[in-house]
Amino acid sequence: MEHTHRGLAPSTRILLTVAAAVVALAGVHAARGVFGPIALGAVIVIIVLPLRAPLVRRGWPSWLANTVVIVAAYVILAILLAMLVYAGIQFGDLVAQHVDDLRRAATDLTDRLTDLGLQASTADDAARWLDPSKLLSIGTKISGTAVSVAGAFFFVLAYVIFMAADAARYSHARGLFGATRGPVIDRATAFNDGVRRYFVVNASFGAVVAIVDGLALWLLDIPAPAVWAILAFVTNFIPNIGFVLGLVPPAVLALVVGGWPLALAVVAIYCVVNVVLQVLVQPKFVADTVNLSLTLSFASVVFWTFVIGPLGAILAIPLTLLLRTLVLEPDPGAGWLRWLSGDPGARDPGPAPEAEPVSASGRDPEPAQDAG
């Protein structure tokens, strides 16, 4: 009697993979206060590291080139931190100044929706967006992100110093290990390039959106247009749903200070500007940059926000790219999953070779004898 060697059943492999992923992600969630700033620091370092090589080629001392990289990383983080702190403080002051107006607007909205035939519970849920405590929770999330950015300063300092010291060694990796570790080096290089291009594209579109939205709100005489411009810029790094997050606070404030006509004007401007740029144009550039499907981009925001908090919304795409680089790309049999994730370079490796039959005794079957 002969049989073939078999591995684990597909269902067992799936269950073990899911169990391992749950354990790993539970650990990340438990350490999100540390993991989030480290991830942000790593992303900033990836963005600014290319500044070092051209400076060294021009004859700059290695220590001076490393200093430029460190300063550039801290400038980016300082600007981001300053914007978030300013936006959070101004937003809290605005809500405090308009508490009574917000409550009156909430009551008016509830009455209007009830008159239109909606159930009282549905009307209350809609009016809850005008509740000052609800709006203050948004400011709290902004402040929480600012705290994460501040925490990243320490990790960026240590990370950049150590990485810069090893940069000369890493630059020789391909020459030393290209024959045996070439695919690994290629995947790491592609991941770094993808992260850089993603943030360059998002920052470019975010700057345009923030300027246009800020000017429009200033012309409409909406209080603190600079705050909403900053919010539009930051939420532009949140795929798919960033537009909605950036729209709600200024629209609510417009409703309070100018009534429904002003609120509808703000919504109309945001829909024209943000939908055209963020929903129709930008996703195409982002998809071509990082090769992630729109569905996966949207799901990654929800997933990573749950795992590491508000900072996960901004880091969703880099973290998803990292998972694909570490888990799917090294596996020749994961071409189908890579293709589903949006990777156009994924290919079917073809059918797996069949296992050689083995006799029941454990010895290879003896070759058949010729009849003659």
- Structure confidence at residue 48 (pLDDT): 85
What are the φ and ψ backbone dihedral angles of 359, each rounded to 5 degrees?
Answer: -70, 165
For 171, which DSSP code? T
* pLDDT tens, residue by residue, 98-118: 666 666 666 666 666 666 655
Between 230 and 94, the more confident residue is 230
- Structure confidence at residue 160 (pLDDT): 64
- Structure confidence at residue 132 (pLDDT): 53
Q: Are 123 and 110 in contact (CB under 8 A)?
A: yes
- Give the global pTM: 0.73
Q: Are 255 and 130 in contact (CB under 8 A)?
A: yes
* pLDDT tens, residue by residue, 261-312: 888 899 898 888 877 776 677 767 776 677 888 788 888 888 998 898 878 8
Please, which residues bridge with residue 3 across strands?
Answer: 358
Per-residue pLDDT at 215 exceeds 90 = yes
Residues, the chain, total? 372
* pLDDT tens, residue by residue, 45-67: 888 888 888 888 888 887 888 88
The number of beta carbons lying within 10 Å of the beta carbon of residue 311 is 23
CA 319, chain centre distance (Å): 7
CA atoms lying within 13 Å on the CB side of residue 260: 4
123: confidence class by pLDDT, cuts 50, 70, 90: very low
Q: Is 197 helix (H, G, I), strand (E, B) or coil?
A: helix
Sorted by sequence, the CB contacts under 8 Å of residue 159 that are 6+ apart come out as: 38, 41, 42, 45
**Whole-angstrom distance, CA of residue 178 vs CA of residue 183:** 8
Q: What is the mean pLDDT of residues 22-42?
A: 84
The rounded mean pLDDT for the chain is 75
**Whole-angstrom distance, CA of residue 106 vs CA of residue 100:** 10
